[in-house]
Amino acid sequence: MSKFRINWDLIKDILFGIFTLGVWFLLKPKPGQRKSVVREWVDAIIFAVIAATIIRTFFIEAYTIPTPSMEKSLLVGDFLFVSKVSYGARIPMTPLSFPFAHHTLPLVGGKSYLEWIKIGYHRLPGFGHVNRGDCVVFNWPAENLGRPVDKKENYIKRCIGLPGDSLQLIDREVFINGSQIPLPINAQTSYHVITDGQAFSEQSIEKLGIREVEVLSPTEFNFYLTRSAADKMKNFGNVKKIEPNMMTRNIFQDFIFPFNSKYGWNVDNFGPVWIPKKEVHWQLIQAILIPIEK
d(CA 192, CA 244): 6
Do 189 and 280 belong to one domain? yes
| Residue ranges, the chain, pLDDT below 50 | 1-6, 291-294
**Active centre residues (catalytic):** 69, 157
pTM score of the predicted model: 0.74
Do 290 and 254 belong to one domain? yes
Number of structural domains, the chain? 2
Do 245 and 166 belong to one domain? yes
Domain C-terminal end among 96, 126, 159: 159
Per-residue confidence (pLDDT) for residue 83, from 0 to 100: 92
Do 104 and 178 belong to one domain? no
Domain C-terminal end among 159, 188, 208: 159
Per-residue confidence (pLDDT) for residue 1, from 0 to 100: 39
The domain in which residue 224 lies consists of 162-294
- Cis check for the bond before 258: say yes or no (omega within 30 of 0): yes
Q: Is residue 251 part of a domain?
A: yes
Rg for the chain, CA atoms, rounded: 26
